[in-house]
Amino acid sequence: MKKQSVLGIDMGGTKVDLVRYNSHTLQEEEREHFLTHAERGWQQVFADLVSALRQLRSADTVAVGVGVPGLVQKPEGMIVTLPNIPGSQHIPLQKELSAEIGMHVIVENDANVFALAEAHNSNFAHKGVVVGMTLGTGVGGGIVIDGDLFRGTHGFAGEIGHMLLSPGKLPYVSQDTRGDVEQFLSGTALGKRCTAARSPGEYLEGEVCAPMKQDVLREVAWVCVSLTALLDPSLIVLGGSVGKAFKPHLQAIIKEMEEWSLPHAPLPQLTIATLDDAATRGAALVALKECSSM
């Protein structure tokens, strides 16, 4: 079998990670990264991305997958907007990047690529429906069905952060009282709910934020129960800096899920993400899947 490689890219808010993988084994071959310096604007970030790609790709590289925060219009790979990078609205990144490097490029939402990587994680190897939920600065999500991403009609399926949790009612003062999941469970929201916390771990540990701990665990359970009622997943994976902080509290969340779910309804396995490179690995997987279907 002829050796080939694929590139996976994670475009974070402050840093861009690039990894070249063996396309058959998904073993990492080489990695690079650069700081976005977002204040310089999109054009400079794009120029740095092209430069890094040209350095990392090899003669046997067949495709590039890019995971980005925010909404991505499919199938054209149009970025609606990249948070925190000026001038990044309505960017046809898939088309522009492909033209610059002369390769097949696929652009996908970063929570989607996270979910895809974890669904293919050999530690789980789940079939059926897998839901990935990322909790960090914001809240995102992705849905994988029988090994493939489910994107919905317009490519926006899995936006868990924008599911309504308590419309018109927030546990802190805000002009925006939409009351979606992101306004309750993102790192940004938890920081407002407990201003004394200095890290995601402190939202749930010790006495600093003790008054809100049970509320937060219950709210995570509510989200999981709603996802279960809608999708009947076999697995829900929590990731992101805040998501990983729930690891010591999984049993408490599961207990809440049992209390709030329908009687006798089967519950999914709930776990914490285990892949350190889920973002780049998932982006590479997306690119490989798209190439194989062409």
pTM of the entire structure?
Answer: 0.92
Q: What is the CATH number of the domain that holds 168?
A: 3.30.420.40
Are residues 48 and 91 located together in one domain of the fold?
yes
Are residues 267 and 288 located together in one domain of the fold?
no
Are residues 133 and 267 located together in one domain of the fold?
yes
Res 226: pLDDT? 98
- The predicted-structure confidence for 114-147, as pLDDT tens digits, reads as follows 999 999 987 766 679 999 999 998 999 999 999 9
In this prediction, residue 26 has a pLDDT band, given cuts at 50, 70 and 90, of: very high
Res 81: pLDDT? 84
Q: CB atoms < 10 A from the CB of 13, how many?
A: 15
In a domain, 12, yes or no: yes
Of the given ranges (7-11, 88-92, 222-226), which has the lowest mean pLDDT? 88-92
Strands (E), 60-136: 61-68, 72-73, 78-79, 104-109, 129-135
In a domain, 119, yes or no: no
List the domain range (segments joined by +) for residue 166: 124-272
Are residues 134 and 219 located together in one domain of the fold?
yes
Mean pLDDT of the chain: 91
Are residues 261 and 128 located together in one domain of the fold?
yes
Are residues 129 and 268 located together in one domain of the fold?
yes
Are residues 140 and 80 located together in one domain of the fold?
no
Tokens representing residue 180 in the block: 């979606």
